[in-house]
Amino acid sequence: MDGTFDHVMIRVEDLEESLDWYQTHLNYEEKGRWEADTFTNVFLGPEDVHEDGALLELTYNHDGRSYEIGDAWGHIAVRVPEDALQESYDQLMEEGVDDYRDPESCGNRYAFVKDPDGHEIEIVKRDHGAKWSIDHTMIRVEDADAALGYWTRKFEYTEQPSGRWEADTFSNYFVAPDDAPEEAMKLELTYNYDGREYTMGDGWGHVAVRVDDLDDAWETLLTREAPDYRDPASCDHNYAFTKDQDGHEVELVTRD
């Protein structure tokens, strides 16, 4: 299986407000747009995003619906330079972003803010990648072994040893293609040891994996017993969808 993460999709209730927030505070620019009769998709990222870097997809449905965030999806994480966590957070505060979890409350290792719809955004220190580029997306899983098995068997991703964090009450595991550049997005699997279950909600949409050949990748996934959710034919051979063991949607896309 080939391919890095291409994008992560979230749903927003006010497209113009969300665009203004990401463009003002994270200096994102519009990379692409798809206008349909009932919805609009807008792809955003830093001006100098890496060619294998992930974008953020905002989906706006024209029917005025509202969304529930749920807790099966955790956050996206964006990068700032190693020595710029506090000043980057202070900049966001000066711009009017709500104070959610400041660096001091997180041991000066990271911080969190929220976008206008309540999606959590972690700010992490990295010595690679454009400022504010997406470092990882975190999802919560109910069975760590099953989750690791899904991504290693279905997609041939590898666990990133430097990213594993084992704590007394939870574990975090980071997975990505073995040959992905460090600027590419990783997936963080969070497993809590208390046996809790999660609500998917609909404020989050999916993560998308970029593949060279959509039909070949789809057949490989079916051979490896991935759920047959939305096959290429049902999506006009533009993309396809499967799901992980907990129901998080995974899109397959091709991109030139």
Catalytic residues: 122
- If DSSP codes are grouped into helix, strand and coil, which group holds residue 249? strand
For 155, which DSSP code? S
Q: To the nearest 10°, the Cα dihedral for 6, 8, 11, 14? A: -80
Q: What angle do CA 237, 243, 246 make, to 5 degrees?
A: 170
E strands in 52-203: 55-61, 73-80, 110-114, 120-125, 134-141, 157-159, 165-166, 170-177, 186-192
Q: To the nearest 10°, the Cα dihedral for 191, 192, 196, 200? A: -40
DSSP, residue by residue, 205-228? EEEEEE-S-HHHHHHHHHHTT---
Task: Answer for the pair 106, 95: CB distance below 8 angstroms, yes or no.
Answer: no
Element (H, E) at 112: strand 110-114
